[in-house]
């Protein structure tokens, strides 16, 4: 978690010295600012002033990162919270969080709604990050009632593919990633739920997949397409062969497990059931435990593959891996599935989130058939 303080002098223009400075920290993006000086002495004075302040901010983020890591927060949650907290600090011109109170949080959230025009869910995520910062990390609870403008930007309707488009897309994906991408549509998995699957999560007897620690830390059981069973069995055999090779490496510490499971099942992480279904091609050092492990594949590989396959298939819609999940839900509803069943399959906490998919099933806008369609032209 080392940080790097960097200073870049652009050039001297009309006796004006321009300096870019910032921090590159392992847990956040670069923070970059610019300053101009009319003399070398001013430049050096600024360096002496900035260095301890930049190091302090980096130390603060490092402590925040370690706080979340030791309490078992998911890596994606840590990244998201750090991003919003860093943006909050940057918005208030790098004022220390200890010196800011509820009114600063309110101003920032209003800024997201008015100037940035963020969606409601985006503003809610930023609020959750700041509540965590003050309530849990700094132990300076924010008031339950805060005054800020709520975002009015509604959630966009999801892009949904037809069954023919799904077939065309799957026919053009890379064979290496076909199974993972097919599961996104066949079981309605989120991208990270798919790449984090373990070999033991597949239940061939009941034709289902057990999803552990999905969004919001929830567990659920989803359907498994019979068409994918032969491919899944072959994939698990390949995982087993990879595991046998890894066991011959003396430093191999087994698959990563959450801290609680790591204590409960001490050596089980070297058994087949706990290995990732889609493992990476090489061993790597786990940043949390500093041990040698085999992680799952990078989700960006699937993102690029889906984008390329949709382009090759001539699909003009904006297609992402999540589009296949949208299509899964819509096609289930079109086939007559109960909306509560679809809600459970998707892992939605609120059925209103699932109801958004019913828009595709309606003919025209809100079920209205245009009178032009009734004319004989």
Residue pLDDT, tens place only, 61-117: 888 988 988 887 877 888 899 999 999 999 999 899 999 999 999 999 999 999 888
pLDDT in tens, 246-293: 999 999 999 998 877 777 777 788 999 999 999 999 999 988 788 999
pLDDT in tens, 133-154: 999 999 999 998 898 988 887 6
User: Quick one: 146 and 1 in the same domain?
Assistant: no
User: Quick one: 33 and 94 in the same domain?
Assistant: no
User: Quick one: 198 and 113 in the same domain?
Assistant: no
Radius of gyration of the chain (CA): 25
User: Quick one: 100 and 202 in the same domain?
Assistant: no
Residue 184 pLDDT level (bands cut at 50, 70, 90): very high
- Is 66 within a domain? no
User: Quick one: 206 and 325 in the same domain?
Assistant: yes
- Is 368 within a domain? no
Residue 325 belongs to what H/E stretch?
Answer: helix 321-334
Q: What pLDDT sits at residue 265? A: 77
User: Quick one: 283 and 355 in the same domain?
Assistant: yes
Q: How many CA atoms lie within 13 A of 316 on its CB side?
A: 0
Domain boundary residue among 155, 181, 206? 155
Neighbouring CB atoms inside 10 A of 362's CB total: 10
Among 141, 137, 189, 204, which Cα is nearest to 329's?
189
- Is 314 within a domain? yes
Query: Contacts from 117-120 at CB under 8 Å and sequence distance 24+?
Result: 117/151, 117/153, 118/151, 118/153, 119/151, 119/153, 119/154, 119/155, 119/156, 120/150, 120/151, 120/153, 120/154, 120/155
User: Quick one: 129 and 245 in the same domain?
Assistant: no
Give dist(CA 138, CA 132) in Å, integer.
9
* Range in 48-57, 224-233, 343-352 with the lowest mean pLDDT: 48-57
CATH number, domain containing residue 77: 1.10.150.130
User: Quick one: 36 and 111 in the same domain?
Assistant: no
CATH number, domain containing residue 307: 1.10.443.10
User: Quick one: 98 and 118 in the same domain?
Assistant: yes
User: Quick one: 258 and 188 in the same domain?
Assistant: yes
pLDDT in tens, 12-22: 444 444 444 45
Contact status, residue 48 vs residue 69, Cβ threshold 8 Å: no
- Residue linked to tokens 């085999």: 294
Q: Across-strand partners of 31? A: 23
Give dist(CA 242, CA 238) in Å, integer.
6
Q: How many domains does the chain have?
A: 3
Q: How many CA atoms lie within 13 A of 313 on its CB side?
A: 25
Checking if the pLDDT of 29 tops 90, the result is no
Checking if the pLDDT of 52 tops 70, the result is no
**Could you give phi then psi for residue 6, rounded to 5 degrees?**
-130, 145
Among 193, 125, 185, 156, which Cα is nearest to 320's?
185
Domain boundary residue among 155, 181, 203? 155
Tell me the catalytic residues: 190, 215, 322, 325, 348, 357
Give the residue with greater pLDDT, 245 vs 31: 245
Query: Contacts from 362-370 at CB under 8 Å and sequence distance 24+?
Result: none
What is the rounded average pLDDT of the residues 198-226? Answer: 93
Tokens found for residue 180: 């993972």
User: Quick one: 20 and 135 in the same domain?
Assistant: no
- Is 293 within a domain? yes
- Is 60 within a domain? no
Domain region containing 309: 163-361
Average pLDDT, the chain: 83
Residue 334 belongs to what H/E stretch?
Answer: helix 321-334
User: Quick one: 50 and 84 in the same domain?
Assistant: no
Q: What pLDDT sits at residue 360? A: 61
- Residue linked to tokens 């089980």: 268
Residue 366 pLDDT level (bands cut at 50, 70, 90): low
**Which three-class secondary structure state does DSSP give residue 12?**
strand
- Is 347 within a domain? yes
Instruction: Let me know if 42 is exposed, middle or buried by CB neighbors in 10 A (0-12, 13-18, 19+).
Output: middle
Checking if the pLDDT of 241 tops 50, the result is yes
Checking if the pLDDT of 200 tops 80, the result is yes
Q: What pLDDT sits at residue 290? A: 87
The CA dihedral of 28, 30, 31, 36, to the nearest 10 degrees, is 170
* Range in 237-241, 291-295, 367-371 with the lowest mean pLDDT: 367-371
Checking if the pLDDT of 4 tops 80, the result is no
- Is 119 within a domain? yes
Query: b/e per residue, 45-76, with b = 16+ CB within 10 A?
Result: ebeeebeeebeebbebbbebbebbbeeebeee
Question: How far is residue 16 from each of residues 42, 43, 67, measured CA to CA in Å?
Answer: 11, 10, 43
**Could you give phi then psi for residue 155, rounded to 5 degrees?**
-70, 140
Checking if the pLDDT of 323 tops 90, the result is yes
pTM of the model: 0.73
Contact status, residue 346 vs residue 329, Cβ threshold 8 Å: yes
- Is 374 within a domain? no
Domain boundary residue among 111, 134, 155? 155
């Amino acid at each position: 978690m080392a940080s790097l303080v960097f200073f870049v002098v652009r050039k001297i223009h009309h006796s004006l010295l321009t300096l870019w400075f910032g921090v590159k920290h392992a847990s956040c993006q670069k923070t970059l600012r610019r300053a101009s000086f009319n003399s070398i002495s001013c430049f050096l004075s600024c360096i002496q002033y900035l260095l301890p302040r930049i190091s302090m901010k980096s130390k603060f983020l490092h402590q925040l990162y370690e706080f979340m890591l030791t309490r078992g927060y998911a890596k994606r949650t840590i990244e998201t919270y750090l991003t919003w907290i860093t943006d909050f600090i940057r918005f208030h011109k790098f004022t220390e969080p200890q010196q800011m109170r509820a009114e600063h949080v309110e101003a920032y959230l209003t800024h997201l709604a008015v100037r940035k025009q963020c969606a409601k869910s985006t503003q809610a995520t930023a609020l959750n990050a700041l509540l965590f910062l003050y309530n849990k990390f700094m132990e300076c609870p924010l008031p339950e009632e805060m005054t800020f403008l709520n975002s009015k930007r509604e959630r966009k309707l999801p892009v949904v593919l037809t069954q023919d488009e799904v077939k065309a897309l799957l026919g053009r994906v890379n064979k290496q990633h076909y199974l993972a991408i097919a599961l996104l549509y066949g079981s309605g998995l989120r991208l990270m739920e798919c790449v984090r699957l373990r070999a033991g999560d597949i239940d061939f007897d009941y034709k289902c997949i057990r999803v552990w620690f999905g969004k919001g830390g929830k567990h659920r059981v989803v359907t498994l397409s019979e068409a994918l069973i032969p491919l899944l069995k072959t994939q698990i055999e390949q995982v087993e062969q990879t595991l046998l090779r890894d066991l011959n490496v003396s430093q191999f510490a087994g698959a990563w497990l959450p801290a609680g499971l790591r204590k409960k099942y001490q050596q089980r992480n070297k058994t087949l059931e706990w290995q990732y279904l889609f493992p990476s091609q090489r061993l790597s050092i786990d940043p949390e435990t500093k041990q040698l492990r085999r992680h799952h594949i990078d989700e960006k590989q699937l993102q690029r593959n889906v984008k390329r396959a949709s382009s090759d298939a001539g699909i003009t819609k904006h297609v992402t891996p999540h589009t296949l999940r949208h299509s899964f839900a819509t096609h289930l509803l079109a086939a007559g599935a109960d909306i509560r069943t679809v809600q459970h399959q998707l892992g939605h906490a609120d059925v209103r989130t699932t109801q958004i998919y019913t828009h595709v099933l309606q003919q025209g806008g809100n079920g209205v058939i245009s009178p032009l369609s009734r004319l004989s032209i």
